[in-house]
Each structure stands twice: as C-alpha cells, then as structure tokens.
Amino acid sequence: MSVIRIATFNVNSIRTRLEILSRWLGERDANSEGHNEGCVPCDPNISNSKLLARDAHARVPYGAIDVLCIQETKVEDKDFPLLRIKQLGYNCVYCGEKSYNGVAILSKEPLEEVSFGFCDGERDFPTRVVYAKYKGIRILNTYVPQGKEITHPDYQVKLEFLDRVKKFMDTNSVYDAPFLWLGDMNVAPTEIDLTNPKANKENVCFYLPLREKFSRVSNGLVDLFRKFNPDTRHYSFFSYLVKDSLTRNIGWRVDHVLATESAAKMADGCYIDTAPRSWERPSDHTPVVALFKV
C-alpha cells in the first residue's frame, strides 16, 4: 500500500506563481517523512484572534504532491509555461484563455481520460472544468464562477454552473467508485468556514441560497477537510485587501476536496497548507491537500 497526495490550488496566474510552485512542490517532495517543526498543534477551542493561520499546517505529514489541480492559470495555451512545469518533474494538461480563468492538472504519472468542460452539449466551460483519472481515482477539477454580487447576472451563471456539476456527476455515475470533485468552489459551506459570517450574509460566496444549492449538488460527497478537522477554523483564501489577513487568520474556506464514499474510505488525512501564502509574492489562495491510501 502506498500514499498519494492530491491537492487543489488557485494560483492566481501560473506564470507569476512559478517560484511559489517550484518551492512548494520541491519542499514537500524533500520532506516526505517530515513534519512542520516549530508550529504547535491547532487547538479548536482557541479564540479566533489567537488562532494563527500558520497553525493550520502544524504536525502535518508532508510529502510529495502526486496530483496538483490548479485554477486561475490566466494564460493562453500557447504561452503556458509547460517546460518549467516539466522541469519540476510533472506531467501537465491545461486549458486557458487570456487574462482570466484557466485550469490545469499537474501529475507525477500521466493522467488518463482527460477532458475539458462539461461535455454535455450545453454551453461549456473549458477553462473552468477539467476531468481526468489518476491511478483509478476520477477527478473533476473546477473553478466555480465567483458571481460578483448576488444581484449580478453572473450569480445566476454560478448557480447554473453548480447544476451542471450535479448533472455531470449524475450522468457519469461517479458515486459508486473513487471520485473527487475538487477546486475553487467559491462557496464557504458553513458559518465556521469564514472568519466573519455575520458580516457576509449577502456575500456571493456565503449567501444562504447559494450554500443550500451547494449542499444539494454535493449531496453524497464527503468534505474531506471537515472529515478530518470537524471544527477547526482553517481557511484556504486570505484576501490581499485585508491587512495581515494570514497572520490574523481572516479568511475563507472556499477551496474543497469532496469525495465519494469509496474515495473517502481511502482518505488518510486532509489539510490546508498555509505556508505558501506566507511566502514572497503569494497567491491569495493556498493549497488544500488530501492523502489517499492506494
């Protein structure tokens, strides 16, 4: 039996984040049996003001990332830094566009069954959706539309996108085999998934009807971070707009790894690795990593 690590990371421009990617993938690979020394284990009862985000990656069994699902590459395919990615020791599939969106999957071994978009005959989202299979685990990596405001037409597109995910999972009968829906969902599912739920009831990533929609769409899937961390306030997004958001732990958990029952049974842990958010020129998101016994 071996362990594989599957991660999701909204990089907010893959070209600007090459240094972060290189360091993160390299350090985790080098630390295969290591732990993050110097951090105390997170106490879920500690007050939020005292809960530093760096605690999120305390006592985590770091190791090489086998599959990295990326969102917001923000680059056309012809300009994708494929050579740099290969030099990091990864295969790569990608589909992007100028300035916005863009998804990719990096993998130690080649992927199988790769496709972009929902492939269901309706308006497709090839730069927001990529599907592939890795060592028997089916993976749907999505960059869910943010939606701007709950009054904005883009919010309706977001809801429709979530319906399309549900349709994809239903028509492809994913539920009886190891399958992951992961990525930047732009949804904080519950009140403990953001620092300030009271001030964000109308926020396009926390509006109750949106969360109800997300709950219906993800019905039957297990939120792996919550499975292993039932009540901890760890976040995967820390706004550039909020001063010292990382060290003050003012953030959102909007990046998720959702697993079918059979995939959840294989899972051996899930954590948010906040270290890259603290490095030079970071993304505003930070990776979420899930471990699987295969």
Partner DNA sequence: ATGGTAGTAGAACTA
| Residues designated as active site | 143, 184
Q: Which two tokens stand for residue 6?
A: 């599957």
Closer residue to DNA in complex, CB, 4/70? 70
According to the binding rule CB under 7 A, does residue 200 interact with DNA? no
According to the binding rule CB under 7 A, does residue 279 interact with DNA? no
According to the binding rule CB under 7 A, does residue 99 interact with DNA? yes
According to the binding rule CB under 7 A, does residue 15 interact with DNA? yes
According to the binding rule CB under 7 A, does residue 78 interact with DNA? no
Q: Which of 59, 86, 148, 201 binds DNA (CB under 7 A)?
A: 148
Nearest Cα neighbor of 291 from 76, 63, 119, 105 is: 63
Closer residue to DNA in complex, CB, 63/117? 117
What is the per-residue binding string for DNA in 26-55, x denoting contact by CB under 7 A?
------------------------------
Amino acid at 157: V
Q: How far is the CB of 85 from DNA (least distance, A)?
A: 15
According to the binding rule CB under 7 A, does residue 87 interact with DNA? no
- Quote the distance between the C-alpha of residue 275 and its chain's center: 15
Q: Which of 240, 265, 279, 293 binds DNA (CB under 7 A)?
A: 240
| Long-range contacts formed by 56-61: CB under 8 A, 24+ apart | 56/232, 56/234, 56/235, 56/271, 56/272, 56/273, 56/274, 57/271, 57/272, 57/273, 57/274, 57/275, 59/35, 60/35, 60/36, 60/269, 60/271, 60/273, 61/33, 61/34, 61/35, 61/269, 61/291
Q: Which 3 state secondary structure label does DSSP give 166?
A: helix
According to the binding rule CB under 7 A, does residue 241 interact with DNA? yes
Q: Which 3 state secondary structure label does DSSP give 195?
A: coil
Q: Which of 145, 178, 269, 276 binds DNA (CB under 7 A)?
A: 145
Q: Which residues bind DNA (CB under 7 A)?
A: 12-13, 15-16, 74, 98-100, 145-148, 154, 240-242, 281, 284
